[in-house]
Amino acid sequence: MERSVKLEASLACANFRNLESDIAQLTAAKIDFLHIDIMDGKFVPNFALDFSIMQTARELCAIPQECHLMVVEPERYIDKTVASGAEYVGIHYEATYHVQRSLQQIRDAGAKAGIVLNPATPLTNLEYIMDDIDMITIMTVNPGFVGQKLIPAMLRKIKDTRTLLSATGHDNIEIQVDGNVSFQQIPEMVAAGATMLVGGTSSVFHKDYSIGEAIAAVRTIVKRAEAAQ
Ligand code: DX5
Ligand code: ZN
């Protein structure tokens, strides 16, 4: 099956002193999605973006938004997230008692449903909810902070996710990778089967490159990795 790799910009890593310019550069480089990290200070020991930032981004551009809810009991915020314009909403497996119901709630609200797995959460937890998912997110770091190092076992987890999807006839489900998606790691991530790459300080917002340069470099790396398959 032909798979296309989508590139996302992790908006929490943007320069908020000049957000308009960053978003203009992301638009010019035709980034596929804005990845919006929403943190509640409880599920993760940090706070991050919110609905007003989604609104601001929507006023500045037409880039589709994809929301990563790092909040406990995400069901409290799903409807508001979709109403704020999210095309995908990702909820953490670890954050709610009723995972299947919450995934259903996302679809009922009109968005695509993502399940996000912390590094220690096994793939076997997905066995009975495969039909309720449009995207699986493999956290390659523990969520909550930018600029962390990839946990090496997560490369095997991406590969195991692809194997699981192929074996069960679910290759239409996207495999998103979030955390330390760097120029160095991208070839292995793509080879393992990732289809959505969240670029933060490790690539799209790398301190040594402009956003345009970084995105062009990522696209070249992705193309090379796809051709090598
Ligand atoms: C957490 C965030 C970060 C973000 C940061 O959920 O979404 O992992 O991608 O990117 P890096 O790891 O490149 O700073
Ligand atoms: Zn994220």
pLDDT tier for residue 48 given thresholds of 50, 70 and 90: very high
Q: What integer best gives the mean pLDDT of the chain?
A: 97
Q: Is 9 in the pocket of ligand 1 (CB under 6 A)?
A: no
| Catalytic residue status for 178 | yes
Beta strands (DSSP E) in 13-110 are: 33-39, 65-70, 86-92
The predicted-structure confidence for 194-220, as pLDDT tens digits, reads as follows 999 999 999 999 999 999 999 999 999
Q: Is 146 in the pocket of ligand 1 (CB under 6 A)?
A: yes
Work out whether the CA dihedral 219, 221, 222, 223 comes out positive or negative: positive
Given the structure tokens 């957000």, which residue do they identify?
19
Relative to the alpha carbon of 10, which ligand is closest? 1
Q: Is 137 in the pocket of ligand 1 (CB under 6 A)?
A: no
Relative to the alpha carbon of 180, which ligand is closest? 1
What pLDDT was estimated at residue 14?
Answer: 98
CA 198 – ligand 1 centroid, Å: 7
Is the pLDDT assigned to residue 56 strictly greater than 70? yes
pLDDT tier for residue 229 given thresholds of 50, 70 and 90: confident
Cα angle: 209, vertex 45, 137; to 5 degrees: 60
Q: Is 102 in the pocket of ligand 1 (CB under 6 A)?
A: no
The predicted-structure confidence for 159-193, as pLDDT tens digits, reads as follows 999 999 999 999 999 999 999 999 999 999 999 99
Give the pLDDT mean for 85-109: 98
Residues of the chain with pLDDT > 70: what percent? Answer: 99
Q: Which helix (H) or strand (E) holds 113?
A: strand 112-117
Is the pLDDT assigned to residue 90 strictly greater than 80? yes
Q: Which helix (H) or strand (E) holds 112?
A: strand 112-117
Domains of the chain listed by start with CATH number: 6-227 (3.20.20.70)
Cα angle: 218, vertex 200, 37; to 5 degrees: 135
Is the pLDDT assigned to residue 1 strictly greater than 90? no
Q: Is 141 in the pocket of ligand 1 (CB under 6 A)?
A: yes
Residues with CB under 5 A from ligand 2 (ion): 37, 68, 178
Report the phi/psi class of residue 110: left, alpha or beta, with left for phi > 0 and alpha for psi in -120 to 50: left
Given the structure tokens 């000049």, which residue do they identify?
18
Is the pLDDT assigned to residue 2 strictly greater than 80? no
CB 38 within 8 A of CB 71: yes
Atom of ligand 1 nearest to the CA of 13: 5
Give the pLDDT mean for 16-35: 98
